[in-house]
Amino acid sequence: MGKLAISISVLIFLTTVGIAWARVSGPCSNCHTMHNSQNGQPIDENGPRVYLLDPVSSFRDACVACHSNEGTETIVVQGSTRIPIVLNLQEPTYPSDGSSSGTLAGGNFYWLYANAGVGGENQSVYGHNVLAIDGVPPDENLTQAPGKPDVASGPSCAGCHDRIDRCESCHAPAHHAPDTGPVVGQEGGWYRFLNSSFHGSENTGVIGIEDSDWEQTVSASDHNEYMGANNAYGNDDNSMSNYCAGCHYKFHGIPNVGEDNHSPWFRHPAHLPLPDNPDKEYYYYNNPGGSGPGQYNPLAPIARDPDQLLSMTEPSPIVTPGSDQVMCISCHRPHGTPYPDMLRWNYLEGCVAGQGTPSECGCYVCHTTKGE
Amino acid sequence: MKKSLLFMLVFLVLVTLGPRSWARVQGPCVDCHTMHNSQNGATVVANGPFRALTKGDCVGCHTGTNTGSNNIPYVMSDSEPNYGSFGISGNTLAGGNFYWVATSGGNDPTKGHNVVYLASEDTNIGTTPPGWDNSNFGGNGLVAGGEASWSKQLTCAGKYGCHGTHTDEDDFRSISGAHHSDDSNLDGSTVGKSFRFLYGIIGIEDSDWEYQPTSTEHNQYYAVDRIDSFIDNPANADAKSINYLCAECHGHFHSGVGDTDGADDENSTIGSPWIRHPSDFDMNNVKTKEYGNYPGPFGTQYTYWPGAPVGTDDLTAGVRNQVLQSDGDAIVLCISCHRAHGSPNADLLRWDYAECNASSGNAGNCGCYACHTTKY
């Protein structure tokens, strides 16, 4: 009876908290084919593919083929294996409403792929132009990553730093790594496999807590947790923001944000904590007009202080100024969104000073006195 | 005199106990032959007489139940054999058993090679093997004469078969004399001097054809590391390796130039270069990864596990009971996963692939985990 109670408790725990399930489970044949041959016929007309993969769709690139879906479902269930979808060919729900079509945390390439974003902008503004996606053109506006570090100038760098040739430009796949967490780092293949496939090191990989359904269902207590930075200079430190700095380095660091790292900012800061100062509006994160910080808002997420994150056992709804940091993906979704610059909200039409709420303009989650 | 006697005794003991090959036929002639197919006025075997005065054709002679002491290896059974989980604890031999594919047995074309005498043409595949490469892998003679598509069904031996030479269409002629050859030195020069009469192939033959094999009693397969030798060029593949035998019919699964041919994409600059499961790959190359824990859940690290065998590029060291000890001693084979004759499992696999569940915490009966030791 005692064991039964423990088992039930464990089940409840696992289903209620966002503990990681990213390590692939289920029959090997759900994802792999040994020879791309069955009954004398190829299993996959576009195969055989790397990693011996047998994808769920017909895109030529194996990563894209596995993580895309012709419909709107953003998690595809293949047998007992759950596959997060980052490219839907029909428009997913944005932001996620918790339904099966809810856009996942990293966003979705749909708006880039279908050129269907808000505002009639050109196609490339709605996501990262991953050229491995059949039909995605080179970026119409960019010839290199904006803010590219000078050291990434050799010909062998171009596939990631001047353009994005493949998914592995940002991810180093490790689907079978033991990422039971709760904090996922090197042993678990890094948070969401975020490490350089070409020059990854123990410092470049990202550390974090992986939400079990990739934030399809999401709330103040049900979400990813991101590693904050331990330096303001864009140097590798396992943080989410400084991983972005790998390609957008010049958007970080002293020469670009002001010598003493405070206002007036030359560029919007990342990797710095919300001021622990009740006189500042940022202190009232997600609680405009309130008497203290509000709860974690997954529309404009914050990163945790590195020391704090490493000791966390589950996602937390609590936000602590002076510790929790603004990061690049507080505002952006790396795969794409319906909005230009792959922003999390409609900055061009939804953010008008003196008007609107944080749910309409995510800027107001931190800039709590700027909305209505 | 005493020294001579002692020497003789030691020699006899070594010969008796050692893992020496016994493929050369032994035992009463009458076990296999009948001079006139006539005894007491009646025929000895139905449908006879057979060539070479045998009591049957290939299937006829090699049908029976293995006991561990039988002189003839049985690769076909009249009743379902005891395979066990991996084919190493019951009464099937190294090559498996045709029972499950045979018309008179399981009659399932996915569970064995559809040899003409046992089964009808494969309803899924036809007569041409999947991965058939009719221009390469002719180092031991091109199978099927290099036909673009096979005009005839698979046989045990000969032009359309696995055993014997590939010049004669006739099974008997292609292995003629092999059973009584001196096979003390398997150099592949003749059918009789080839591993299991697989012409050109070398190896060390287990004395009881791997009836309930162990880490110390098993066939020792010869293979080469593709990294050291042929990479993607079939012309450089070693025609003496057991994998080459399989490639003679399934060459496109083995090696080839290009992004879609063979086992690896040589142009891959990232991630896994494999596009098909590799063979002829030495796991010593990746010993620091999970493969260095072979055989994973099925034994002590580095112990040879006959459930998922690996080959070696050096037969002079004899039968290995420890692998991953030096380069070239843990080479992935086609038959690491498959049984050439047949098994109870789809794709004539050694285990039931459908039972292979990633991250289940239980290796179960999935032999994949012998090498992929972190995947369960």
B277-310 pLDDT, tens digit each: 999 999 999 999 999 999 999 999 999 999 999 9
Q: Before B295, cis peptide (omega within 30)?
A: yes
**Dist. CA A254–CA A237, nearest whole Å:** 16
Interface check for A50 against chain B (CB to CB < 8 A): the answer is: yes
**Weakest-pLDDT range from A1-10, B46-55, B125-134:** A1-10
Please report the pLDDT score of residue B47 as a whole number.
87
Mean pLDDT of all residues belonging to chain B: 90
Contact A29 B353 (CB under 8 A): yes
Q: How does residue B228 score in pLDDT terms, banded at 50, 70 and 90?
A: confident
**Dist. CA B136–CA B233, nearest whole Å:** 9
pLDDT 10s digits, A339-352: 999 999 999 888 99
Cβ atoms of B108 and B132 within 8 Å: the answer is no
* Residue A359, number of CB atoms within 10 A of its CB: 13
Phi, psi of B76 (to 5 degrees): -140, 145
Residue at token pair 């958007």: A251
Element (H, E) at A12: helix A2-16
Q: How does residue B14 score in pLDDT terms, banded at 50, 70 and 90?
A: very low
* Residue B181, number of CB atoms within 10 A of its CB: 18
CA atoms lying within 13 Å on the CB side of residue A161:
22
- The DSSP code sequence of B283-314 is GGGGTTSGGGGTTGGGSSTTB--TTS--BBS-
Interface check for B153 against chain A (CB to CB < 8 A): the answer is: no
**Dist. CA B242–CA B239, nearest whole Å:** 8
Which of A205-209, B6-10, B259-263 has the highest average model confidence (pLDDT)? A205-209
**Dist. CA A205–CA A195, nearest whole Å:** 4
Interface check for A82 against chain B (CB to CB < 8 A): the answer is: no
**Dist. CA A148–CA B74, nearest whole Å:** 68
A20: which 2 tokens? 């990681």
Cβ atoms of B243 and B333 within 8 Å: the answer is yes
Query: Residue B122 to residues B114, B252, B253: CA-CA distances in angstroms?
Result: 6, 20, 19
**Dist. CA B158–CA B51, nearest whole Å:** 15
Contact B356 A35 (CB under 8 A): no
Q: Is the pLDDT confidence value at B232 over 70?
A: yes
Please report the pLDDT score of residue B264 as a whole number.
81
Look up residue B35 and give its DSSP letter.
Answer: S
Of all residues in chain B, the percent with pLDDT exceeding 90 is 74
**pLDDT greater at residue B193 or residue B85:** B193
Cβ contacts of residue A94 below 8 Å, gap of 6+? A103, A108, A337, A338
Q: How does residue B265 score in pLDDT terms, banded at 50, 70 and 90?
A: confident
In A311-321, which positions are buried (b, 16+ CB within 10 angstroms) versus exposed (e)?
eeeebbeebbb
Q: How does residue B3 score in pLDDT terms, banded at 50, 70 and 90?
A: very low
Residue at token pair 């299937």: B59
Interface check for A359 against chain B (CB to CB < 8 A): the answer is: no
Look up residue A50 and give its DSSP letter.
Answer: G
Q: How does residue B124 score in pLDDT terms, banded at 50, 70 and 90?
A: very high
Residue B112, classed as helix, strand or coil, is strand
**Dist. CA B322–CA B313, nearest whole Å:** 14
Cβ atoms of B274 and B280 within 8 Å: the answer is no
- List of chain A residues whose C-beta atoms are within 8 Å of the C-beta of residue B354: 27, 29
A329: which 2 tokens? 């993906």
Please report the pLDDT score of residue A16 as a whole number.
33
Look up residue B270 and give its DSSP letter.
Answer: S
**Dist. CA A50–CA A243, nearest whole Å:** 26
**Dist. CA A316–CA B196, nearest whole Å:** 65
Q: Is the pLDDT confidence value at A254 over 90?
A: no
Top residue of B132, B133, B359, B374 to mutate, by most chain A CBs within 10 Å, is B359
Look up residue B130 and give its DSSP letter.
Answer: T
A177: which 2 tokens? 């790594």
Q: Is the pLDDT confidence value at A242 over 50?
A: yes
Top residue of A37, A156, A171 to mutate, by most chain B CBs within 10 Å, is A37
Please report the pLDDT score of residue A291 as a whole number.
97
Contact B271 A173 (CB under 8 A): yes
A95: which 2 tokens? 């932001």
Q: Is the pLDDT confidence value at B51 over 50?
A: yes
Q: Is the pLDDT confidence value at B231 over 80?
A: no
Please report the pLDDT score of residue B9 as a whole number.
43
Q: What own/partner pairs with CB < 8 Å and gap ≥ 24 does B153-157 have? A: B153/B114, B153/B115, B153/B116, B153/B121, B153/B127, B154/B113, B154/B114, B154/B115, B154/B116, B154/B127, B154/B129, B155/B115, B155/B116, B155/B117, B156/B58, B156/B59, B156/B115, B156/B117, B157/B58, B157/B197
Please report the pLDDT score of residue A58 as a whole number.
85
**Dist. CA B256–CA B235, nearest whole Å:** 9
Q: Is the pLDDT confidence value at B20 over 60?
A: no
- The two beta strands, A81-84 and A75-78, are antiparallel
Q: Is the pLDDT confidence value at B11 over 50?
A: no
Contact B357 A39 (CB under 8 A): no
Please report the pLDDT score of residue A18 as a whole number.
37
Q: Is the pLDDT confidence value at B12 over 50?
A: no
**pLDDT greater at residue A255 or residue A328:** A328
Stretch B177-182: mean pLDDT: 92
Bridge partners of A326, per DSSP, are A272
- CB nearest to A48's CB, from B275, B353, B354: B275
Q: How does residue A121 score in pLDDT terms, banded at 50, 70 and 90?
A: confident
**Dist. CA A23–CA A79, nearest whole Å:** 15
Please report the pLDDT score of residue A20 as a whole number.
41
Query: Residue B205 to residues A221, B54, B195, B256: CA-CA distances in angstroms?
Result: 63, 24, 7, 30
Please report the pLDDT score of residue A47 as a whole number.
87
Mean pLDDT of all residues belonging to chain A: 89
Q: How does residue A262 score in pLDDT terms, banded at 50, 70 and 90?
A: low
Please report the pLDDT score of residue A252 as a whole number.
77
Sign (positive/negative) of CA torsion B373, B280, A28, B264?
positive
Q: Is the pLDDT confidence value at B22 over 60?
A: no
Please report the pLDDT score of residue B129 as a whole number.
97
A164: which 2 tokens? 């994005």
**Dist. CA A344–CA A46, nearest whole Å:** 34
CA of residue B85 relative to chain centroid, distance: 18
Top residue of A28, A33, A164 to mutate, by most chain B CBs within 10 Å, is A28
Please report the pLDDT score of residue B29 as a whole number.
87
ipTM over 0.85: no
Task: Looking at A170-280, list the stretches that DSSP marks H as alpha helix, in order from N- to C-terminal side.
Answer: 240-248, 254-257
Q: How does residue A30 score in pLDDT terms, banded at 50, 70 and 90?
A: confident
**Weakest-pLDDT range from A78-87, A170-179, A312-321, B260-269:** B260-269
Stretch A116-126: mean pLDDT: 86
Q: How does residue B256 score in pLDDT terms, banded at 50, 70 and 90?
A: confident
Q: How does residue A56 score in pLDDT terms, banded at 50, 70 and 90?
A: confident
Please report the pLDDT score of residue A76 as a whole number.
95
Torsion of CA A353, A356, A357, A359, to 10 degrees: -110
Please report the pLDDT score of residue A256 as a whole number.
53
Listed by number, the residues of chain A in 168-187 with a beta carbon closer than 8 Å to a beta carbon of chain B are: 168, 173, 176, 178
Q: Is the pLDDT confidence value at A48 over 70?
A: yes
pTM of the entire predicted model = 0.83
Interface check for B89 against chain A (CB to CB < 8 A): the answer is: no
Contact A35 B276 (CB under 8 A): yes
- The two beta strands, A87-88 and A68-69, are parallel
pLDDT 10s digits, A219-237: 999 999 999 998 877 789 9
